[in-house]
Chain A
């Protein structure tokens, strides 16, 4: 059975086209683009909330998008135990909706960070099945508010339930720091308790094609399809 997916576009989303290409090229299945004012969502296996600056990041990154009309449907989709992936601004939106714990605050150095970063998987889930333990992935980040923060109690819950999907690490020859944006425990991506919702700051949709600097971003879709 073919894999169906959808990408939600908010005003100010700027990685929606990238996410659509990522899904089309890797899933070979049906891919829908859904405008934020829609009130229904087709039955799909995966929904992506893409990166960008939804509503100009006004108020707080992701805050206004989390009140969009389509969000009720997105929540229903997640409650049906189907996959939901928030990338960058999408991750911020997921924490604002409350589907994921914690918050993304400004990067430690208070500057936008657009560069290659290195991550590895922490705990196993369906989004990272095809990734080996200790395998280092090279995937670009591009964010101003990517510094994951939560209180100690929440952090313990995330650890005990094995909800931490990815953490930042050092690349083999790279000059990068181990924890590029100051996130608690270098967290780069987390899931919900049921592990069908993933939020991550790095952009796998910018690292999958032959001409990209890395193809490691493929592994996430390959994990879901396998």
Chain B
């Protein structure tokens, strides 16, 4: 029993994948959904392999992933910069808060038509849509975290002669960084969604556009293969954020993980 549990713990990732495969295959074989729309796992893997060998999927994936990554970096930097500005000026903070309250509930897809009219089809459109939906979690977490820094920490900085800006850079920002990263992590997911949606609605390349084409061509196994690829991209993007987070705020993660 114990050995079985240990085995399950050790191989939990492949086991979960196997479970998903199994359920998928069972649904496929049960014939609940017409076969045309719900291909078997071997068909999906085969479709992926085909797209991989003709090279189309690689170019599309690199395009999409870079868009999501660059968009995330830009949005996170902008979010942190805005959080710092808001911290310096309460008036600006209130202003940005209104804007974010209005813009935040709008789904990325709703921005795309407007962006097409304003910016045309191209890089500017992606930048606009991604940043507009991705900037808020790092910004909002940044504002809250900067406000929440303990007055004792600030007074400690003042006692050792730090100026206001030195306190911001050397005390308050490092203290706020763990919570900012929680926002960036969330933003990573949104960034990928925004890219795929923009590519589907207004794109000429990338995975989103590819999915769109395949849907119209009724290539369901290709569509599913691409969806799995998107899922993997999400995991990869989160992994990159986690790496940076560990490098910059590793102390916080170890502090939280330590046994009491």
A binds B: no
* B interface residues, Cβ below 8 angstroms from A: none
* A interface residues, Cβ below 8 angstroms from B: none
